[in-house]
Structure 1
């Protein structure tokens, strides 16, 4: 058996406990931030999925997407401190002839609508990008409104799944941006 004693080897260990703690806190905060961003991403995915469902409970009237452009323009961009971290727009619905234009229009509109908000810590922008989306809703059909109202519920569920402690956060719907 061989035993090596640091003192006898002339090795001196000097630590700066404040720097060690600061480094550990930074790594922990980075991990927590990643989980929060993932919760936002999943909640936005839930909301977009909800918006695209062809039949839902209740009396919500659902539009019939002829070409798939409106469904394909429905999606989101998620930003962290100004950097795009996730974008979701997928061609679907209708006869398929509008998938490409729907996806590109949705991406463009999400980019435009987030331009003054995306520098915030976390910014998610969910859109139905086709120019006629509001007109479809004005006729009594749901395009995105029901999903917008469900988003806080989806986000709360995703955050609870990650952190468990519902007292650590409060989610309310607001018109302030």
Structure 2
């Protein structure tokens, strides 16, 4: 008795490509949501006085896949009155860091002004709490994607 498959090598290839595309989409969607939540939380919940608006505007993120920039948020905060110094600085810093990650999916979150660490050292929260939340959200997202793959 001879078994004859009802699928071809091309069918298998298409199936695998579709799964990879779904995984890519799920990963990027979750990274973007985490990045946007990070920016919103850090800008709204930072417990410091931002005289110029530059520090709050320097909070942003970039998402890379194999070194290629796919998404970013370095928009000037609408309610903060300042020029684009903070946003431009954040983008420059994030892209400098991005050069170190030529492979894989990468989410880089930053407070781009050079004095952000000094503000945090005085007990003020610039991005620490939002970074912890983003890390936890990322861990949950990875677990969800793994569970989804296991069901497939």
The question of 1:104 aligning with 2:88 is answered: yes
CA distance in 2, matches of 1:150, 1:96: 27
Within the candidate set 129, 147, 159, 2:130 is matched to 147
Q: Normalising by the residue count of structure 1, what TM-score does the alignment of the two structures yield? A: 0.72
Q: 5+ residue gaps in structure 2?
A: 1-5
CA distance in 1, matches of 2:55, 2:122: 15
Question: Cα deviations across residues 143-164 of structure 1 (Å, max 9, x unaligned)?
Answer: 111111111222245567x759
Q: How many residues align?
A: 145
Tell which deviates more after alignment, 88-97 or 130-139.
Answer: 88-97
Q: 5+ residue gaps in structure 1?
A: 1-14, 56-61, 169-177
Which residue in 2 is equivalent to 1:78? 63
Within the candidate set 51, 58, 61, 1:66 is matched to 51
CA distance in 2, matches of 1:21, 1:139: 58
Superposition RMSD in Å: 2.5
Which residue in 2 is equivalent to 1:4? none
Shift in Å at residue 130 of structure 1?
0.4
CA distance in 1, matches of 2:128, 2:80: 24
Q: Which has the larger radius of gyration?
A: 1
Structure holding more helix per residue: 2
The question of 1:165 aligning with 2:150 is answered: no
The question of 1:48 aligning with 2:30 is answered: no
Which residue in 1 is equivalent to 2:114? 131
Shift in Å at residue 28 of structure 1?
2.1
